[in-house]
Chains A and B, each alone.
Chain A
Amino acid sequence: MVKMLHLSIIMATLFILPTVSLAFAAETTGEYLDRKAEIWNLFFRMMTVAFVVGGVIAGTMVWQVWRFRESNPKAKPTPYEEKGEL
């Protein structure tokens, strides 16, 4: 739990706090246009990351379903099957 908290603080500092300024009202036209470009830029970067991560996770899930299925010849009993508490 403590580790998760520390990780969250680091993630917030690195990725969330720098974008908070975007949430405040733009006061001049130039600032408004810059802000628009910045947000689109941020969005495209996020989408690139999201699609890469999505592809990896979807692929992992398909592989896991194939590899760790009960009928796979390589499947081994887990330590929890007979006596472990699930």
Chain B
Amino acid sequence: MVLELKKARPVWQIMFSTHHTDVGLMYLIFSILAMFIGGAMAIALRVELFAPGAQLIEDSMSFNRLFTTHGTTMIFLFLLPSASAVGNYLVPIMVRYKDMAYPKLNAIAFWMIPPAAVLVWLGMADFGWYANPPYSVISSPAPAAEMWIFGLKVLGVSSILGSINFVVTILKCKHPDLSIGKVPLLAWSFLSSSIIVLAAMPTFAAALLMLLTDRLGATGFFNPAVGGDPIAYQHLFWFTFHPEVYVLVIPAIGMMYEIIPRFSRRPIFSQGSGIFAFVMLSLVAFASWAHHMYATGMTFTEKTVFMIGTLAAVPASAMHVFNFLATMWNGRIKFATPMMWAVGGIALFFAAGAGGVVNSAMPLDFITHDSYWVVGHFHLFVFGTIAFGTIGFIYYLFPYVTGRMYNEKWGVVHFILVFVGACITFFTQHILGLYGMPRRIYDYPEIDSWIQMNALISVGAMIMLVGMGIFLANLIYSSAKGKPANLHDPFGLGGKYYYPYEQRNPHH
């Protein structure tokens, strides 16, 4: 497939390249960097919350800045770019085209991300990654808020450019012999998520502009002091960002569709149901945004509509899980590191979905709203499912990208530590929420159960830190000194790949 690192090339040649695998490599390296920066912030937050009173962070404003930047980094600078990395590497090869449809636009979409990251990281806004008004309009200090708004604006444009490229590449550039129904499910996942981005992102782009002009005093869309409506912002925000959850999870499921058949040594059980479920998820993504807003005074009927809309995602999600289970059935499963991450991700996806059913039930939502339950649910989904799929796929891509094998033993240790750490951290956060601890607080009263659970959560986070440290060391060491990989079959699985590495697209 690709061997960027084996055959040495000057860095500038990769940086200024528009070839899809070079752009994919840059996305990959950037997203891994962002994951560690965002992870370091998470560890700082957990050290602070290990016990009541100030531990590491001096004041609540710094704490607020840290969790805002952590959330923004993980979602926009780790998960989205890592999905783009995988898409850039594999989509053109899967649709048998020489590159992405618009290579220069592709490189531009990537190069918009680092400046946006600098804005977010240097600004360190303090209003949470929702930026909810009226606080974000009236009180949030400048210039951090403006830097965040500009940063997100740039990232939004980058996402739209990337999505246009994926849609055109898959629909218009695929090989004439390849019918759309036979396009691999990973490519289908990028088609679905890109269409969601194109439909959802402009709404948030408008909301950001309105937020900016509100902050400048030119308008009062969301400022109640001048007759604006803060709830309107929440509608615009969640109309984009509930579908955005699917934008993140659909490629992760697509990655699992690559890993699970390969390591089970069986073809996908049902290509048709996978496509159907992707299309269904793309549609119901837009039917559930206001389930984040039950507590804003919606009518009973509105809440019922959004509750049913949210539950409509369950059958489509279940179809994917059944497809995975049916694929594994009667296989001879090799539990190499990528497969462990994929199966672990499916298990946590199921647990996160069960928690989501509780959240979507409006009476129960009032018990869990703005509590640590939500933090646990969100992280179980975003980390336990999406990051698990992504990390598994990074291991899967590793030999193709570097020409070397990672250390399998340390890969397994990494998985076990992070899986155990994630279960301790995120399941305990659910329970802590039911015990009444609100989210986004810098300090908490000395309640025994809260102290014990917070300490346990922080220990879980430290276990994950050790696991991720091993991951980083494994990546760096193995890319330089790992055993040369047998690129015909790096994992020793047998069978034929439909995109052998010899078919790599020539550089241009």
What residues of chain A have their CB less than 8 Å away from a CB belonging to chain B?
1, 4, 11, 19, 22-26, 32, 35-36, 39-40, 43, 46-47, 50-51, 53-54, 57-58, 60-61, 64-65, 68-70, 75-78, 80-86
> B115 contacts the other chain (Cβ, under 8 Å)?
no
Q: Which residue of A has the minimal Cβ distance to B346?
A: A61
Cα-based distance from A70 to B266 in the complex (angstroms): 13
> B332 contacts the other chain (Cβ, under 8 Å)?
yes
Given contacts A24-B301, A40-B363, A64-B333, 20 further A-B contacts (CB under 8 A): A1-B272, A19-B308, A23-B308, A25-B299, A26-B301, A35-B300, A35-B304, A50-B354, A51-B354, A53-B318, A54-B354, A64-B325, A77-B265, A78-B332, A80-B494, A81-B495, A86-B262, A86-B267, A86-B496, A86-B497
Say how far B52's CB is from chain A's closest CB, in angstroms.
35
Across the interface, which residues of A come within 8 angstroms of B311, CB to CB?
46
Cα-based distance from A83 to B495 in the complex (angstroms): 5
Tell me whether A57 and B321 are in contact (CB under 8 A): yes
Tell me whether B493 and A81 are in contact (CB under 8 A): yes
Cα-based distance from A46 to B331 in the complex (angstroms): 32
Tell me whether B333 and A4 are in contact (CB under 8 A): no
Q: Which residue of B has the minimal Cβ distance to A81?
A: B494
Cα-based distance from A52 to B320 in the complex (angstroms): 18
Cα-based distance from A26 to B299 in the complex (angstroms): 11
Also in contact, A4 and B325, with CB within 8 A (given A68-B332, A69-B333, A77-B332): no
Cα-based distance from A26 to B303 in the complex (angstroms): 13
Tell me whether A76 and B332 are in contact (CB under 8 A): yes
Tell me whether B305 and A86 are in contact (CB under 8 A): no
Across the interface, which residues of B come within 8 angstroms of A51, CB to CB?
354
Cα-based distance from A1 to B273 in the complex (angstroms): 7
> B130 contacts the other chain (Cβ, under 8 Å)?
no
Tell me whether B333 and A68 are in contact (CB under 8 A): yes
Per-residue contact bits, chain B 311-342, to A (CB 8 Å; 1 contact, 0 not): 10011001001100100111111110000000
Say how far B503's CB is from chain A's closest CB, in angstroms.
14
Across the interface, which residues of B come within 8 angstroms of A81, CB to CB?
265, 332, 493-495
Across the interface, which residues of B come within 8 angstroms of A64, CB to CB?
325, 328-329, 333
Tell me whether A78 and B331 are in contact (CB under 8 A): yes
Tell me whether A86 and B261 are in contact (CB under 8 A): yes
16 interchain pairs, CB-CB under 8 A: A11-B315, A25-B299, A39-B307, A51-B354, A54-B354, A57-B350, A65-B333, A65-B335, A68-B328, A70-B334, A75-B332, A77-B265, A78-B266, A78-B330, A81-B493, A86-B267
Tell me whether B300 and A32 are in contact (CB under 8 A): yes
Tell me whether A61 and B497 are in contact (CB under 8 A): no
Across the interface, which residues of A come within 8 angstroms of B354, CB to CB?
50-51, 54
Cα-based distance from A80 to B308 in the complex (angstroms): 42
Also in contact, A70 and B333, with CB within 8 A (given A19-B308, A57-B325): yes
Also in contact, A70 and B357, with CB within 8 A (given A1-B276, A4-B276): no
Q: Which residue of B has the minimal Cβ distance to A39?
A: B304
Say how far A64's CB is from chain B's closest CB, in angstroms.
5
Across the interface, which residues of A come within 8 angstroms of B10, CB to CB?
none
> B181 contacts the other chain (Cβ, under 8 Å)?
yes
Per-residue contact bits, chain B 484-506, to A (CB 8 Å; 1 contact, 0 not): 00000000011111100000000
Tell me whether A61 and B343 are in contact (CB under 8 A): yes
Across the interface, which residues of B come within 8 angstroms of A57, CB to CB?
321-322, 325, 350
Across the interface, which residues of B come within 8 angstroms of A26, CB to CB?
300-301
Cα-based distance from A81 to B492 in the complex (angstroms): 10
Say how far B361's CB is from chain A's closest CB, in angstroms.
5
Tell me whether A78 and B272 are in contact (CB under 8 A): no
Cα-based distance from A58 to B324 in the complex (angstroms): 12
Tell me whether A60 and B301 are in contact (CB under 8 A): no
Cα-based distance from A46 to B311 in the complex (angstroms): 10
Tell me whether A65 and B265 are in contact (CB under 8 A): no
> B169 contacts the other chain (Cβ, under 8 Å)?
no
Across the interface, which residues of A come within 8 angstroms of B54, CB to CB?
none
Across the interface, which residues of A come within 8 angstroms of B265, CB to CB?
77-78, 80-81, 86
Cα-based distance from A68 to B328 in the complex (angstroms): 8
> B171 contacts the other chain (Cβ, under 8 Å)?
no
> B264 contacts the other chain (Cβ, under 8 Å)?
yes
Residue of B300, B333, B496, B498 contacting most chain A CB atoms (<10 Å): B333
Cα-based distance from A50 to B265 in the complex (angstroms): 30
Across the interface, which residues of A come within 8 angstroms of B498, CB to CB?
85-86
Say how far B298's CB is from chain A's closest CB, in angstroms.
12
Say how far B235's CB is from chain A's closest CB, in angstroms.
19
Cα-based distance from A84 to B262 in the complex (angstroms): 11
Q: Which residue of B has the minimal Cβ distance to A44?
A: B361
Tell me whether B264 and A68 are in contact (CB under 8 A): yes
Tell me whether B350 and A58 are in contact (CB under 8 A): yes
Q: Which of B405-426 contact A (CB under 8 A)?
A: none
Cα-based distance from A22 to B361 in the complex (angstroms): 14
Tell me whether A4 and B346 are in contact (CB under 8 A): no
Say how far A77's CB is from chain B's closest CB, in angstroms.
6
Tell me whether A65 and B321 are in contact (CB under 8 A): no
Cα-based distance from A2 to B299 in the complex (angstroms): 39
Tell me whether B495 and A86 are in contact (CB under 8 A): yes
Cα-based distance from A78 to B307 in the complex (angstroms): 43
Say how far A16's CB is from chain B's closest CB, in angstroms.
8
Residue of A22, A39, A82 contacting most chain B CB atoms (<10 Å): A39
> B472 contacts the other chain (Cβ, under 8 Å)?
no
